[in-house]
Structure 1
Amino acid sequence: MKNGSNQNWDSYYSENRDFSLMTSQALTKVLAHVDARLEKICLDLGCGTGQLTRELFHRGYTCVGVDLAESALRTAKSLTVQASSLTYIRGDLETLQSTDLPRRQFSLITCKLVIAFVKDKERFLKLAHDSLAPGGTFAVVTPVFGSKICEKKPGICVSSEEIEKQLGDRFGNVTVEPLGDVECFISHRQS
């Protein structure tokens, strides 16, 4: 099945391919921006094979991972312990509605290596904003133009200025956290 960015994600993941993993150290940097007073509930948009979703689960989060590719979700489920606080659902980020999610509000929403493939970023950012609890954190992890990754794979990169502006327009605040070859754009829903 093809999504709005004309990528065949099922085929990609069926070939046992995956994207770069987020290191434990990088995740610790991101989590330093999360309000520890909020209940640990995470939505991982574009979870792929679930590496980040599982890491957050092991750090005490109740997690929902969403991805379009059934093959990626099969892999994620096969690598996951059975737990009611860790679920995966199939969903197209171009059409996903908050009513498709098992919860209405999350204290943390992650989006790792996905934003470059989302066609309607305004709609996507609205979904993220509306799905965040007051004070919640939205973390967009992506390579940006000018990085070493973009020299080889420009199609997976975004403009740092553009994503900062889009997040700023929706959330009102943006912090950029360098994470090696990628950057994490962190925004919060105002209380």
Structure 2
Amino acid sequence: MGYTQPEQWHEHYARGERFRAVTDTERALLETHLRPAAAATALDVGCGLGELALHLCQMGYAVDAVDYAESAIGLATAAAPADAKVHFLHHDIERDSLSALPQAIYDLITFRLAYAFMTNRTWLLNRLREHLRPGGAVCIITPLADTVAAGRRGIALAEEEITLTTAGWRSAERFDADGLLFLVLREPGTAATACADKGRPAPQALAGAGVVVTDAQDRVLLGWSVRRGVWELPGGKPLAGEALEHTAVRELHEETGLQASADDAQVLAFLTDATHGIPRLTAAVRVTAHHGEPAVREPHLILRWEWHSVADLPRLATALFTPSAHVLETVWPGLFSSLPPVHRHFVRQLPRSEEPSPQRETDRCSPRRSPAREAR
């Protein structure tokens, strides 16, 4: 399903179209693993017509159910029993401020057939865990990529993406729900970010550019390496005779689809270190203006691109490519408490202070809506 805008989902529900109903197996798993022992609150993300939200209400939760399709919220509200403790809210969980949610803290947060359509999943889970009561749980019910047709992979998660989702949680229980993955996450962890290289390169000197680009919420773009299992900045090797500013914008476009001018690319510093005994030179490049939306252009290299809050980077649950960490530390000095050795040769100072804020990101998220997002 190729929907990319909330209006398309609004029309989907308005036409009377539906999705797979909650099964008895799902209800049994919810009863077994997530029934509250006392009064509790739940947040159902991507609630659609509210079937799961109403079942959670029957289990004993007071439920806030959100969806960015206005027609879904209208239909769910009209169909809900008058005495149901469920509040349906028109809300874009990725674009609207989480401070607008009715509750500050939830005992359970659910995504049913919705999580695969979230654009910046790592960032979103980091924000939602700030709204999860100690002892609470996140439940994700989703198709798996190897169980759906190739043309429908966008509605499902691959195993590599499940690994990314469970990273940073001390407890991750998996169950089968009639072919759907039923995933329960508990106890978010706080381990410091580890740095990792990608293995031994070809025996030659290495040179490249690491590109720092941020969005309107001052989040930085990172990609998950398919083969190496690390987060990394956009970037790559210069072509023969190519200026590094041109390298930066070319690689940014080739890898992510984002477009920028070389006039908006600034080489801040040259970083020198070594890997496996081979000298390595990395140009730290800051791109200050761009347009477009990030997309996976080289799927054999990068699984997905996500915007990350800078304040989250010192506590990533998965590894960060060492040169990318050095470049990020150049843009935001003092971001990491410790890094592998590197020599920095500064070319220019940053045009303005770019210090990550330690405050909760949910308290300063912009309510701005995006004109486009992946289909749900």
Aligned letter for 1:113? Answer: L
More helix by percentage: 1
List per-residue Cα deviations over 1:23-82 (Å, max 9, x = no partner). Answer: 233122134223744532111000011010011112221111000011101110111012
Q: Which range is displaced more, 8-17 or 156-165?
A: 156-165
Q: Once the two structures are aligned, what percentage of the paired residues are identical?
A: 24
Cα distance in structure 2, aligned partners of 1:17 and 1:45? 19
List per-residue Cα deviations over 1:124-165 (Å, max 9, x = no partner). Answer: 112321121101010011001111x34562220111332233
Q: Is the 8 A contact 1:164 1:185 kept in 2?
A: no
Question: 1:20 aligns to what SS in structure 2?
Answer: coil
Could you say if the C-alpha distance between residues 127 and 39 of structure 1 is closer, same or farther in structure 2, counting changes exceeding 3 Å? Answer: farther
Q: Which range is displaced more, 112-121 or 181-190?
A: 181-190
Q: Is the 8 A contact 1:125 1:167 kept in 2?
A: no
In structure 2, the partner of 1:64 is 64
1:92, CA displacement in angstroms? 0.7
Cα distance in structure 2, aligned partners of 1:123 and 1:83? 35
1:90, CA displacement in angstroms? 0.8
In structure 2, the partner of 1:178 is 176
Q: Is the 8 A contact 1:143 1:150 kept in 2?
A: no
In structure 2, the partner of 1:161 is 160
Question: 1:103 aligns to what SS in structure 2?
Answer: coil
TM-score by length of 1: 0.87
In structure 1, the partner of 2:115 is 115
Could you say if the C-alpha distance between residues 84 and 141 of structure 1 is closer, same or farther in structure 2, counting changes exceeding 3 Å? Answer: closer
Question: 1:73 aligns to what SS in structure 2?
Answer: helix
Paired residues in the alignment total 186
Cα distance in structure 2, aligned partners of 1:52 and 1:150? 25
> What is the 5 A alignment of 1:96-135?
96-135=96-135
More strand by percentage: 2
List per-residue Cα deviations over 1:90-130 (Å, max 9, x = no partner). Answer: 11121243311111111111100111111111121123211
Q: Which range is displaced more, 120-129 or 36-45?
A: 36-45
Q: Is the 8 A contact 1:41 1:107 kept in 2?
A: yes
Question: 2:33 aligns to what SS in structure 1?
Answer: coil
Q: Is the 8 A contact 1:133 1:189 kept in 2?
A: no
Aligned letter for 1:158? Answer: L
What runs of 5+ residues in structure 2 fail to find an aligned partner? 190-376
Larger Rg over CA atoms: 2
Cα distance in structure 2, aligned partners of 1:164 and 1:39? 32
Aligned letter for 1:50? Answer: G
In structure 1, the partner of 2:94 is 94
Cα distance in structure 1, aligned partners of 2:36 and 2:58? 16
What runs of 5+ residues in structure 1 fail to find an aligned partner? none
> What is the 5 A alignment of 1:1-150?
5-6=4-5, 8-34=8-34, 36-37=36-37, 39-83=39-83, 85-147=85-147, 149-150=148-149
Q: Is the 8 A contact 1:97 1:127 kept in 2?
A: no
Could you say if the C-alpha distance between residues 151 and 190 of structure 1 is closer, same or farther in structure 2, counting changes exceeding 3 Å? Answer: closer
Q: Which range is displaced more, 174-183 or 37-46?
A: 37-46
Q: CA RMSD in A?
A: 2.2
Q: Is the 8 A contact 2:36 2:60 kept in 1?
A: no
1:6, CA displacement in angstroms? 3.8
Q: Is the 8 A contact 2:25 2:178 kept in 1?
A: no
Cα distance in structure 2, aligned partners of 1:172 and 1:108? 16
Q: Is the 8 A contact 1:138 1:188 kept in 2?
A: yes
Could you say if the C-alpha distance between residues 68 and 120 of structure 1 is closer, same or farther in structure 2, counting changes exceeding 3 Å? Answer: same
1:177, CA displacement in angstroms? 1.1
Q: Which range is displaced more, 13-22 or 149-158?
A: 149-158
